[in-house]
Amino acid sequence: MLRISHTTNEDANIEGDASDWLALRRRILALLDGAEVRMLCKAAIEFDPAPYESVLSHLEIGRTKANMISVRASCLVVNGDDDFLSNLASNLPTESDSTASGVSYHVHYDWISFGDFLAENSMGVILTLWEGAA
């Protein structure tokens, strides 16, 4: 199960193992292929979020015109158009050899790295492939 942590006014962090990320990719692609405009994923809540301040209990992904990542209550909200959500799905960290070295592979999905897709005033998210997240 994905783990989502956050510190106010900073990027959020999502950790998961390869199967978590593959499942999320499938759900995002299914959302894009279907008539639904929103999906909600439960996240793990029983973990220490350090070095972040808090644990977020859900991930909400919605099809909208504004490409934006934000936090609402205890939920990480990812809204965007089809191109943005497709790009996000293709950049989820599903596999990497770097975890064998003890360093978790991760992707910084933020305006600096993905400015063609993400609004400048959007918060960023760090997507981490972690072998111990299961």
With pLDDT > 90 as the criterion, what percentage of the chain qualifies?
85
Q: Answer yes or no: is pLDDT of 102 > 90.
A: no
Q: What pLDDT, in 10s, does the model give residues 32-62?
A: 999 999 999 999 999 999 999 999 999 999 9
For the entire predicted model, the pTM comes to 0.90
Range from 30-39, 89-98, 104-113 carrying the lowest mean pLDDT: 89-98
How far are the Cα atoms of 10, 76, 102 from residue 90, in angstroms, in the given order? 24, 19, 24
Q: Answer yes or no: is pLDDT of 75 > 90.
A: yes
